[in-house]
Amino acid sequence: MADTVKTEAVIDKMLEKYPAKVARKRKKAIVVNDKDAQQEIQANVRTVPGIITQRGCTYAGCKGVVLGPTRDIVNLTHGPIGCGFYSWLTRRNQTSVQGQTPENQENFMTYCFSTDMQDSNIVFGGEKKLRQSIEEVYELFHPKAIGVFATCPVGLIGDDIHQVSKECTQKFGDCNVFAFSCEGYKGVSQSAGHHIANNQLFKHVIGTSDDYPEGKYKINLLGEYNIGGDAFVIEDILEKCGITLLSTMSGNSTYKGFASSHHADLNGIMCHRSINYVAEMMETKYGIPWIKVNFIGADASAKSLRKIAQYFGDKELIDRVEKVISEEMVAVEEARKEVLPKTEGKKAMLFVGGSRAHHYQELFKELGMKSMAAGYEFGHRGDYEGREVLPSIKVDADSRNIEELTVVKDEEKFKSRISEEQKTKLEKAGLKFRDYEGLMSDMESDTLVIDDLSHFEMEVLIKEYKPDVFCAGIKEKYAVQKMGVPLKQLHSYDYGGPYAGFEGAVNFYKDIARMTNSKIWDLIGAPWEKEKTLSASVVHDTKKPEKEEKESA
Amino acid sequence: MDKPIEKPYAHASNPCRQCMPLGASWAFKGIESCMPVLHGSQGCATYIRRYMISHFREPIDIASSSFDETTVIFGGEANLEKAVLNVHRQYHPRVIGIGTTCLSETIGDDVDRFIIRIRDKYPELPPLIPVSTPSYQGTQEEGFLRTVQGTVKTLAGQYQLTEEAIPQSDGPLLNLFMPMITPADIRWLKEVLSRMKIKGTLLPDYSDTLDGGMWSEFHPMPPGGTALEQIIAMDRADGSLELGSDYPAEWRPGYYLQKRFGVPNARCGLPVGIDSTDHFLSILSEITGQEIPGACEQARSRLIDAYGDAHKYLFGKKVVLFGDTSTVEALYRFASEVGLDPVLCFTGSPSGILEKTLEKLPLPEASANPPLIKENFDFGDAEALIEELQPDLLIGNSKGYKISRKMDIPLLRVGFPIHDRFGASRQRMLGYEGTASLLDRVVNEVMERKQSKSTVGYTYI
């Protein structure tokens, strides 16, 4: 997108239909990237009513995203039926009980439990129905834990879901019941829900088990949700390397895994947006350092494995990691060689998630494709500009109404994993702790960075740039494809994947090569219609190049 | 409406229904150049878009008034005003449909009053249609019908039409109202009307908006849908026909037009099967005075022929039917006709209509006992019952798959949502041809099962 004049014109087009005030607000969320400058982007602010957004709600982020992939916690939605129904396994996070001990085989993910509130519950309160529902679910399944999720009306009618949960925990004795005040209207986006979910997990589950897990090089993987089986791939790689994965938060996860995750010696963060606060709190309370990792992209996966090995600093591990990487890269290189002629020089746009719009650029780089525009659906400024801007972000009303936990060192369970001296040494060698540089520094100059892209703005981008592939979600997919541009869903992976790790990279290469070289779009326009256009253009303009005729057909 | 049917448990487990705002959004999508706005938290619009798109595989835009905590305290009028204005400026819709949600209803927003004030302030706005669709009442079915009725109430006879916009026709003018059926079935209805030279206004008509082709140019709103002028002129029709179950009067658009404007109204169940399609065509002919085309007779004859051929595969096979009321009622009539034994019929709707309707129908030929009819029923309740009944086939939406997989009983996908099979929009079941297509699918499902389970003699089945 070297044509700055055009870029400015496109931005104007995106904004021209908005009332002046809305246009001013949206303008701050659109940045023409300059790699070398510290630019500011507006992010994590309320979507203007009537602007069709990609964003979901707080409940979706809490129940659907964070707690959804944990198989042995019963999720009970407290509210009318819709919210429970729409979050019923819709995120395609997977779980596998194969090879698990019987106590780890419980799987409630295929269920949708709801208190199914009716108007009488809205008028007279829903606590009684909630209590009865929790008791019923407990009697039916005897689960280890039950999570209660508030929907919009709950906060208004004043049901005390936390008290009901507490009383149930006491009554049952062997089942941990805890609640989430994740009413849909609470935050700017689903991001608020992630925060609420993580806070409650931290308060009620993480660190509650004293069982000391066996194994060498113990880590947790935070912010990996096992869409399309990504976590399975990562689990395999880590196992090959001899790294013990105690818990993934929360792809293919279990209650027990969360409860004993404080025994890990390192936290690796995949999705910085959704979970960085858990890593921070775990460091303060238990002394576990965290680093940013990324298993999307073969090169990025290799880099992440090397970072983990570098942290532990054990030659045995370092050698084994190198061996695994070189073995895995054979198939990757082969696949890359095959698809490169089909993908090189093509253009992609990515508007998704809180980390995916960044991570997936790695895969496009490997395919020789340029990411010409990108942005998050629910990212914050730190996810764009890097963590160094965090102290300068002002706390607004929306952030203030999400509980900020005060965490202190747990004198009993705190263990210093690494001395300051070692840490400095590692940092000098390039291993950065508590660091994330954000999306903007990784994107080329003159590319577009847009936060909370609206449906309308997206349509302008497609029309003006016709990228070779557009990455977003199901809500955007069919609108984009109507205009002849293939869309890759990066929420559900179009029911494909996995895309993580080395194996996943190969899958992604193949999928993108297939999508960007499809002949389907050439069939648009019946041949007799095309002929008409052709003869008309021959009459009027004999010099019109063939390509344009095809486009106008 | 009678008191809703009570559930055996306080909680719902694996529900067989969705909420009213989904039905509202769906119905609004059948009006030409209409943008639905859900008045509440933005998640409602996002969830419902996401869910409907997974079924239709088409772009579905739904705006939201995006409540925040202050909106919840001070009321949603300012947000609604902003939402309507922004939608208007970006998309220039000809109609804006506004459905409420549990959030705006709980805080007591008076949307009707808001709309009067917003319209006064901005006379340039297109017609705004308010519908009360709190998620803690009813189901998607009720939301859909209430929205159709709300649309008719707001528009029919309420706006001046220019001379050219007044529908002119040599033939009779008919309003045709449908519950949630597939776009392909809507297309069939239009074809029948055209063959009978009836000028019909179908509402809602999402046959193009939710099942459209490629765009050679960019459209801010997908083409198709019932035109605003047609709805305004509905009071001038010679009659109305409502398809679907015997819903309460307060949900029904045809009933309203009759009461308010004296437009004669008739109702019949969805035309699935010989009997129901015969009935539908007769009513159509009766209201409009038009003759039933000869081609219908040929299709009818072919269907009976197919019934005869299918009988040996289907007779006595036990089926479980589930979904929304109109669909389950139609499937029940069809099942009775082709010799299936519907052992259990259930819906998530608590309205009581299904039970009342099915009880009046004669016992199916293949059934030794009356079927179990359950309302306000979910898959969690159904599981144990199905285990006991050991049916040969389940017919209903994708959400039955968990039971299908667990008990190894085939599931034929019909209704909404269908997100694990392809071509939901193109499925047909209405009319003789549609029934034949449904019959083929049912028979093939049964044959496939028999074939795959046979150890010998599996070539000819």
Map out the domains of chain A as residue ranges: 58-204
CB nearest A482 (choices: B44, B84, B214)? B214
Look-up of token digits 């990691």: A321
Does residue A91 have an active-site annotation?
Answer: yes
The domain covering B311-453 belongs, at the CATH homologous superfamily level, to Nitrogenase molybdenum iron protein domain (3.40.50.1980)
> pLDDT tens digits for chain B (461 residues)?
456 777 789 999 999 999 999 999 999 999 999 999 999 999 999 999 999 999 999 999 999 999 999 999 999 999 999 999 999 999 999 999 999 999 999 999 999 999 999 999 999 999 999 999 999 999 999 999 999 999 999 999 999 999 888 888 888 999 999 999 999 999 999 999 999 999 999 999 999 999 999 987 788 899 999 999 999 999 999 999 999 999 999 999 999 999 999 999 999 999 999 999 999 999 999 999 999 999 999 999 999 999 999 999 999 999 999 999 999 999 999 999 999 999 999 999 999 999 999 999 999 999 999 999 999 999 999 999 999 999 999 999 999 999 999 999 999 999 999 999 999 999 999 999 999 999 999 999 999 999 999 999 898 88
Q: In the 8-state DSSP scheme, what is residue B163?
A: G
CA within 13 Å, CB half, A114: 28
Residues of A in contact with B50 (CB under 8 A): 86, 90, 473-475
Sequence spans of domains, chain B: 20-155, 173-211+221-294, 311-453
Tokens 């069709």 locate to: A52
CA distance A364 to chain B (A): 26
The reply to whether residue A50 touches residue B49, judged by beta carbons under 8 angstroms, is: no
B85 contacts A50? CB cut-off 8 A:
yes
Residue with tokens 């968990």: B402
Closest partner residue to B216 (CB to CB) among A51, A122, A524 is A524
Helix intervals (H) in A287-433: 298-312, 315-343, 356-366, 381-385, 397-400, 420-428
Segment A488-546, tens digit of pLDDT: 999 999 999 999 999 999 999 999 999 999 999 888 888 888 777 666 665 554 444 44
* CB spacing of B106 vs A153 below 8 angstroms: yes
B36, β-bridge pairs: B97
> Per DSSP, which regions of A483-538 are E strands?
487-489
User: Cα distance from B83 to chain A (closest Cα, Å)?
Assistant: 4
Q: Which of B44, B69, B134 sits opposite A186 (nearest CB)?
A: B69
Question: Strand order in A469-472's β-sheet?
Answer: A30-32, A448-450, A370-375, A347-351, A469-472, A487-489
In CATH, what is the architecture of A58-204? 3-Layer(aba) Sandwich (3.40)
List strands edge to edge, sheet with A290-292: A244-250, A218-224, A266-269, A290-292
Q: Which residues contact A410 (CB under 8 A, 6 or more apart)?
A: A207, A285, A286
Q: Where are the beta strands (DSSP E) in A87-230?
A: 113-114, 145-150, 176-180, 218-224
Is there a contact between A50 and B83 if contact means CB atoms under 8 Å apart? yes
| Chains A & B: contacts with CB separation below 8 Å | 230
Q: Partners of B179 in the beta sheet?
A: none
* Coil vs helix vs strand at B121: helix
Q: Which of A142, A139, A161, A136 is nearest to A151 (CA)?
A: A161
Quote the minimal CA–CA distance from B136 to chain A in Å. 5
Alpha-carbon distance B256 to B250, whole Å?
8
Task: Report CB contact under 8 Å: B15, A84.
Answer: yes
Q: How distant, in Å, are the alpha carbons of A423, A437, B194 from that of A433?
A: 8, 12, 71
Q: What is the distance between the alpha carbons of residues B173 and B176, in angstroms, rounded to a whole number?
A: 10
pLDDT in tens, A417-446: 999 999 999 999 999 999 999 999 999 999
Burial of A319 per CB tally in 10 Å (0-12, 13-18, 19+):
exposed
d(CA B461, CA B458): 6
A46 is catalytic: no
Residue of B nearest to A112 (CA): B14
CA distance B122 to chain A (A): 14
Helical packing angle, A230-241 and A501-516, nearest 10°: 140
B380's tokens:
């969690």
| Nearest residue to A497 (alpha-carbon basis) of A228, A181, A115, A130 | A228
Closest Cα partner for A66 from A201, A183, A204, A165? A201
Q: B18 to chain A: which residues are within 8 Å by CB? A: 81-82, 85-86
- Coil/strand/helix, residue B294: helix
Which residue's structure tokens are 């008791």? Answer: A135
Mutation test of the interface with chain A: which of B57, B62, B106, choosing the one with the most A Cβ atoms within 10 A? B106
Instruction: Give the whole-angstrom CA distance, residue B106 versus residue A119.
Output: 9
Q: Report the topology of domain B20-155.
A: Rossmann fold (3.40.50)
Residue of A nearest to B18 (CA): A82
Q: Which CATH superfamily is domain B173-211+221-294 in?
A: Nitrogenase molybdenum iron protein domain (3.40.50.1980)
| B202, containing H or E segment | strand B199-203
Contact A133 B215 (CB under 8 A): no
Number of helices and strands (H, E) in chain A? 23, 14
Question: Residue B377 in contact with residue B348, Cβ under 8 Å?
Answer: yes
A132/chain B closest Cα distance in angstroms? 6
Phi and psi of B248, rounded to 5°?
-60, 150
A162 is catalytic: no
B231, amino acid identity = I
Q: Which of A46, A91, A417, A434 is catalytic?
A: A91
Interchain CB contact of B5 with A (< 8 Å) = no
ipTM of the complex: 0.96
Closest of B248, B56, B249, B23 to residue B147, by C-alpha: B23
Complete DSSP assignment for A178-190? EEE---TTSSSSH
By C-alpha distance, the chain B residue nearest A193 is B43
Q: Provide the strand spans (E) within A377-482.
A: 448-450, 469-472
Q: Matching CATH topology for B20-155 and B173-211+221-294?
A: yes
- Annotation says A320 is catalytic: no
Whether residues A55 and B42 touch (CB distance < 8 A) is answered with yes
Task: Report the SS3 class of residue B373.
Answer: strand
B285 touches chain A (CB under 8 A): no
Which residue in the block uniquely carries the two structure tokens 């009028």?
B77
